[in-house]
Chain A
Amino acid sequence: MQQLNEDQTDCLSELINVAYGKATARLADIMGAFATMRPPRIAVIDRERFRQILQQACLAAGSCYLARQIFRGDVSGEVVFLLDEISATNITHYLQAQLGPDDTDQDDVLLELGNIVTAAMMRELSLRMGARITLGEPELHRLITEPADQTTASGAFDHVIKVETVIEFAEQQVQGRIFILTHGHCFEWIRQALDRVLNDLPN
């Protein structure tokens, strides 16, 4: 599996930080609440580690919600937003209290929130890296204990960029993780794009 060097990691971390800021601001607008952001932690992991993380998250929380969205273009892959059960419940209750519970069941809320986070993040990130992408329809899955194969296309991807952070809304911690899953050749494209960004930095 390919990895990023120190400069590429720093560069991607900063690009993701800016993209995550946009996603959080969109979410905060919709929630009508101030979100306290924490610095996102970035790592490149392989498919097996990704499966283990999903499993551990489900075992620890009983169940998890996973919102996923496919992207295609100069780079292709899948972006996944993972929320544990408590975070999902907290955020849904909060939003239902703001909007009224009538038309908003938990799955609707989580699908929309997942879509906002992943779309805002991927749009900003692709813009920064000079990539043209289109995003597919978002999907939501509830994972119980053992992630089923059909809930992610992880089997098709061999590189996973893990973005881990905690967002606090109105004193409620929402622990969200974003995973960007991609193929080796797209990962190489990302590495080259990061090198272009680094080369364009002012001296």
Chain B
Amino acid sequence: MKMLVVDDSRMARRILIGMLPEPLREGADIHQGVNGEEAISLWREHRPDLIFLDLTMPVMSGFDALVAIREQDQNTPILVVSADIQARAVEKVMAGGANGFIDKSKLEAQLHDNLQRLGFV
């Protein structure tokens, strides 16, 4: 199992990875990036089975990375994890091809729900 976690905050990545269910995390190959550009290059290099993507990042936003990845890959599940919880932000990422939206302030519950819905747990 290969995963890609992209967030400009080291702490946010650490929290997310720590909250992954143990069976999913153990033995997983987890790659980390800090902006949208890195998300795209890490996706090309590793072809992960699951991608977690923050929205508000320097250099290139998570939304732009989502669109760029979706142009070439319609299958890999992408979960957007963001503090930007405006209704239109959620609509925009879902229309952009995300498989789910996780509100950072409700990370634990929504992470579990989304992983379950996508069949990862």
Contact = CB atoms under 8 A, between A and B. Distances in A.
B96 to A, nearest CB: 14
A202 B25 CA distance: 12
B84 A25 contact: yes
A35 B83 contact: no
Contacts of A14: 9, 11-12, 15
Contacts of A25: 84-86
Contacts of B82: 21
B108 to A, nearest CB: 9
B89 interface: yes
Nearest to A7: B11
A39 B56 contact: yes
A24 B84 contact: yes
Q: Do most interface residues of chain A lie in helix, strand or loop, or is the interface mixed?
A: helix
Given A11-B11, A14-B11, A22 B86 contact: no
A21 B84 CA distance: 5
B107 to A, nearest CB: 9
Interface residues of B, number: 22
Contacts of A39: 8, 56-58
A150 to B, nearest CB: 35
Given A37-B56, A38-B56, A124-B105, A17 B83 contact: yes
Interface in A24-64: 24-25, 28-29, 34-35, 37-39
Interface in A160-201: 201
A76 B108 CA distance: 30
Contacts of A38: 56, 58
A13 to B, nearest CB: 6
Interface of A: 7, 10-11, 13-14, 17-18, 20-22, 24-25, 28-29, 34-35, 37-39, 124, 201-203
21 contacts: A10-B10, A10-B11, A11-B11, A17-B9, A17-B56, A18-B104, A21-B105, A22-B83, A22-B85, A25-B84, A29-B86, A34-B86, A34-B89, A37-B55, A37-B84, A38-B56, A39-B8, A39-B58, A201-B15, A202-B19, A203-B18
